[in-house]
Structure 1
Amino acid sequence: MGNPRARYTLEFKIEAVRMVRNGQSQAATAKILGISTQTLNAWIKADDAGKLNGAGKQVSAEQMEIARLRAELARVKMERDILGKSDGVLREGVGVKYAWIERHSRQWPVSVACQALGVSPSGYHRRKAVDVDPERPRQRISNDALLVHIRAVYAESKGEYGWPRVWKKLLAQGIRVSKDRVQRLMKLHGVKARTKRRFKATTDSRHNLPVAPNLLQREFSPARPDLVWTTDITYLWTDEGWLYLTVILDLFSRQVVGWSLKPHMRTELVSDALRMAWFRRRPEVGLILHSDRGSQYCSDEFQTLLKGYGMRCSMSRKANCWDNSPTESLWGSLKQARIHGRRFATRREAMDEVIDWLSFYNHGRLHSTLNYVSPMQFERSWYAAQRQQAA
């Protein structure tokens, strides 16, 4: 079965333990999930001790991200070392590698083996579809096992994903299943994304400050990163009072490149977000920054900062939220996923939740506009393609 710590997410382990707590026998649960009873028993004992792979420990979003990256690096290195010792398969052709993956599919997940051997999972499955014996019964993951994987992905997104993103995530994990089956199981067991709510705008355009023209004109698909950024302000309620959030969004990858959280809506809120974005990205002169007509964006302080960075200012038409719809969509996703139905005792608690979601959004959230990959993965793939073309 390999090293379970390298194969299973925390959410998967929690769901496995939950099945046993709800009356399923350990033997039946282990058989359904394709794990050993010893592994399952270890997870149950860890859960009893409050130590299920770190469950219950309070860590920052940054610490979580660093831990995930380190674990992934260690996993890939370990599996590449082990697979590299197997029958010289790394030195063979693609067909031999596919055959090796097929023989060891019960021991190693297909996605892991493909990654270690330098072949694509999609290519492996295409070859398998061609070579498969029509009389051979097709192996099919059980509904019980599939539901555990679904709940694990759903828990990992903290209830944000509906069936389309859950299905795409399962495919990315090497679980070959139809979208109709995922949709049917989620509906049957009440696994659904949080309901969307409307939220009022925070723009105060009742001022006599100069207003910039709309340079963006709803062209939301720039050709490369750091050509067009958008920005906006939203607010969250806590028991200590309002907390205001602004972000800087790169329209190419939809990545949040800068943000600021403060208990007020003064110009400092938007200026600090812009400073963060500029120091992180250092864009070329001429970048368009699009916003609404709020007094913070029209202020002399903010406009001076823009000119100092060599950026061009663009503003939406009056009372027209569609001119900045990508950022408005971001607010809807954030509040649907983490804010609606929550009560925050302090501003600090709300800030931690927002920063955690922003990290998840940039690194892991599957974005429908980007063909269901995360903003950072989309940007990395684009840069890799540019380097390949230049080579």
Structure 2
Amino acid sequence: MTRQRRKFDTSLKLEVVRMIKEQGLSVQHVSESMSIGPSAVRRWVKQYEDEQAGQPGIGKPLTPEQQRIRQLEQENRQLRGDVEILKKAFGLLCPRTEMSYRLIDELQKKALNVAQCCRVLGVSRSGFYEARRRAAQPAVCKASVHVRAAFAASHQSYGSRRIVAALANDGLQIGRHKVRRLMRQAELKPVWKRKFIHTTDSKHALPVAANVLGRRFNPVAPNVAYASDITYIRTGAGWLYLAVVLDLFSRRVVGWAMAPSMPASLVCEALNMAIGHRQPAPGLVVHSDRGSQYASAEYQTLLAKHGYICSMSRKGNCWDNAVAERFFLNLKMERVWQRQYANHAEARIDIAAYIVGFYNCERLNSVLGNLPPTVFERNMAAKESIVVSEIT
């Protein structure tokens, strides 16, 4: 079966490059979150850098001056690498301070003068006695160090259950009661703050769709059902509104958009981003609340253009869109409420980093068996390919 080559428009390529160049995200995180090959992402970044530097594009020969500059840059990188190797080799060949302290300790047992031994070996007496004092102290609990590291890596959001799962994924088995005790001793508490404020404007005369999804939040395959919603972010320059689209199969954020207001174009931009890199087939169910943005003609036209089915929550029932609401709660508890954004640009960069660098690729989701969304999708795709190969 011939694999169809994916095509990406220029706006999507530019958005991917900006996430790397302006927001400081890594190529690996962006490629995993957007489901785009890392080689393609690197090629787009290289082409963007060449265009910004005024260099010739792909297929155009370099001038002699540009060839000479590239040769000098390559020689310079090689020289820096050679110097770095020599620095590391010198440090390894020199006598280690710890070995000198151990030798002085042995010589002192033979009634030799400590001051003289330190002077001959080129170490200080205070350093020798400090090393002896540290050696006499009780050993640090390794489990406590791992628990602290896992808690810090989760942006102070994991409780004992997720800490246990995170350590198990790293090959370290620790019981939950021990983790709870270590967290209590270290005063590690997840950040919990105020609840959401209702922002949906459903008092409009626009037509609303039926609740097609019906709280079936666990589809059997990706790109079968999406959930979408809008929330607000407080900044020093005023409110910033965030619209997201999640694939209910893996709870993965597949599209998002931010703006200082809430027009219908905001939710359309988020959905277009999801369509751009997931390319779901017609028949996809896209669920949302009854907000005026989702009931607008612009949004409904976008759904009809791609053959998607609109689904809306029942009036005043937030549980019909619980997955999107839960994502916003996690976002605010784990990132937004721990920050004070000075302006919209700072908030955009930090929220995009949370989605791409933490939520999609690293954050453990209990619904997915304590796996991140991207890892869950890869595992399910691998299982499906194995089943298909066995059948054929």
Question: TM bucket by the smaller chain?
Answer: 0.5 to 0.7
Cα deviation per residue 1:301-357 (whole Å; 9 max; x = unaligned)? Answer: 110000111100000001110000011000110000011142111111111111111
* CA–CA distance in structure 2, aligned partners of residues 357 and 338 of structure 1: 7
- Equivalent in the alignment of 1:310: 307
Matched, 1:381 2:345: no
Cα deviation per residue 1:242-270 (whole Å; 9 max; x = unaligned)? Answer: 10001000001000000001111001110
Contact 1:196–1:332 under 8 Å retained in 2: no
Determine which structure has greater relative contact order: mean sequence separation of CA pairs < 8 Å that are 6+ residues apart, divided by chain length.
Answer: 2
> Could you tell me which of 224, 228, 241 is aligned with 1:227?
224
* CA–CA distance in structure 2, aligned partners of residues 63 and 342 of structure 1: 25
* CA–CA distance in structure 2, aligned partners of residues 347 and 353 of structure 1: 10
- Which runs of structure 2 are paired with 1:119-134 in the superposition (5 Å)? none
* CA–CA distance in structure 2, aligned partners of residues 280 and 207 of structure 1: 33
SS at match of 2:205: coil
- Equivalent in the alignment of 2:340: 343
Contact 2:164–2:173 under 8 Å retained in 1: no
Q: Tell me whether 143-152 or 221-230 shows the greater mean CA deviation.
A: 143-152
Q: What is the root-mean-square deviation of aligned Cα atoms in Å?
A: 2.1
* CA–CA distance in structure 1, aligned partners of residues 350 and 279 of structure 2: 28
> Could you tell me which of 243, 252, 273 is aligned with 2:240?
243
Cα deviation per residue 1:13-50 (whole Å; 9 max; x = unaligned)? Answer: xxxxxxxxxxxxxxxxxxxxxxxxxxxxxxxxxxxxxx
Mark the CA change 1:246 to 1:185 in structure 2 (over 3 Å): closer, same or farther.
same
* CA–CA distance in structure 1, aligned partners of residues 167 and 375 of structure 2: 17
* CA–CA distance in structure 2, aligned partners of residues 351 and 190 of structure 1: 31
- Equivalent in the alignment of 2:29: 65
* CA–CA distance in structure 2, aligned partners of residues 178 and 218 of structure 1: 34
- Which runs of structure 2 are paired with 1:346-385 in the superposition (5 Å)? 346-359=343-356, 360-385=358-383
Q: Tell me whether 173-182 or 359-368 shows the greater mean CA deviation.
A: 173-182
The normalised TM-score by structure 2 is 0.64
- Which runs of structure 2 are paired with 1:83-102 in the superposition (5 Å)? none
Matching residue's letter, 1:285: P
Contact 2:246–2:252 under 8 Å retained in 1: yes
Q: Tell me whether 235-244 or 145-154 shows the greater mean CA deviation.
A: 145-154
Where does structure 2 lack aligned partners over 5 or more consecutive residues? 1-21, 39-138
* CA–CA distance in structure 2, aligned partners of residues 272 and 59 of structure 1: 19
* CA–CA distance in structure 2, aligned partners of residues 273 and 180 of structure 1: 42
* CA–CA distance in structure 2, aligned partners of residues 170 and 332 of structure 1: 24
> Could you tell me which of 316, 320, 329 is aligned with 2:326?
329
Matching residue's letter, 1:257: V
Where does structure 1 lack aligned partners over 5 or more consecutive residues? 1-57, 74-141
> Could you tell me which of 160, 163, 175 is aligned with 2:157?
160
Matched, 1:257 2:254: yes
- Which runs of structure 2 are paired with 1:99-114 in the superposition (5 Å)? none
* CA–CA distance in structure 2, aligned partners of residues 385 and 171 of structure 1: 22
Number of equivalenced pairs: 263
- Equivalent in the alignment of 2:133: none
Mark the CA change 1:200 to 1:165 in structure 2 (over 3 Å): closer, same or farther.
same
Matching residue's letter, 1:167: V
Mark the CA change 1:312 to 1:174 in structure 2 (over 3 Å): closer, same or farther.
same
Matched, 1:176 2:140: no
Contact 1:229–1:249 under 8 Å retained in 2: yes
SS at match of 2:219: coil
Contact 1:226–1:287 under 8 Å retained in 2: yes
- Equivalent in the alignment of 2:42: none
Contact 2:225–2:286 under 8 Å retained in 1: yes
Report the Cα offset of residue 67 of structure 1. Answer: 11
The normalised TM-score by structure 1 is 0.65
What is the percent sequence identity of the aligned residues? 43
Matching residue's letter, 1:348: A
SS at match of 2:221: coil
Mark the CA change 1:198 to 1:144 in structure 2 (over 3 Å): closer, same or farther.
same
- Equivalent in the alignment of 1:12: none
Mark the CA change 1:192 to 1:143 in structure 2 (over 3 Å): closer, same or farther.
farther
Matching residue's letter, 1:227: V
Report the Cα offset of residue 65 of structure 1. Answer: 3.2
Mark the CA change 1:68 to 1:310 in structure 2 (over 3 Å): closer, same or farther.
closer
Mark the CA change 1:143 to 1:184 in structure 2 (over 3 Å): closer, same or farther.
farther
- Equivalent in the alignment of 2:192: 195
